Amino acid sequence: MSKVLFIKASPLPNEVSRSSQVAETFMAEYKAKNPSDTVEELVLYNTEVPLLDLELMTAGRELQAGKAFTDLAPDVQKRLNAYNALTEQFLAADKYVFVFPLWNLGIPPLLKAYIDTFVIAGKSFRYTEHGPEALLKDKKAILIHGSGGIYSAGPTSSFTHGEPYLRTILQFIGINVVPSIFVEGIDHNPSKEAEIVAAAKAVAQESATEF
């Protein structure tokens, strides 16, 4: 039995977000094929995701220097508890399903803030004399990525820092990232929206049976 963490990184409701619709198709098929697995859904835009800022970095250094957690300011304790809860939730999962849009050739800022909660030295990777070593080598992930243009291949593929960035950071900590599902090109060809979404859903159903 596997524990799946379904991470939604779009503020748009499902009826508006085409990539979320495809992700729901993926999850429905996955649940049907793996009824004994547990699925936990994390909607980032409905979740407190603390930003890694000066306050949290200072608190981390103070704790490393021996300061008691209870001696931190109450609001800092609250933020650290929320931060650490996201870290532990991520580490406890076996599989990850990310659904996210391409914004200005990158990822949504809240997704980047979330990434910072689990890419942590000593937790998901460690430094060695031979360089960084991944610690999450027995886990896998799939990325479901939406974009108005076409960036998965062709002349614009080198422009994007969305799917390639998330794939790279997950691989850096040892996670096996299977082929991504792209929901793309609708803004280029609005008349083909239904066709594009249907094709992506078909890929999602097939991918779910193998995930």
Q: Establish whether 17 is an annotated binding residue.
A: yes
Q: Establish whether 191 is an annotated binding residue.
A: no
pLDDT of residue 50: 97
CA angle 114-118-120, nearest 5°? 125
pLDDT digits (tens, 9 = 90+) for 82-133: 999 999 999 999 999 999 999 999 999 999 999 999 999 999 999 999 999 9
Contacts of 55 (CB under 8 A, 6+ apart): 76, 79
pLDDT of residue 191: 92
CATH architecture of the region 3-210: 3-Layer(aba) Sandwich (3.40)
Q: CA-CA distances (angstroms) from residue 156 to 18, 147, 161?
A: 21, 12, 11
Mean pLDDT, contiguous 10-residue spans, the chain (211 residues):
97 93 98 97 97 96 95 96 98 98 96 98 96 97 95 88 97 98 93 95 97 96
Q: Establish whether 147 is an annotated binding residue.
A: no
Q: Establish whether 124 is an annotated binding residue.
A: no
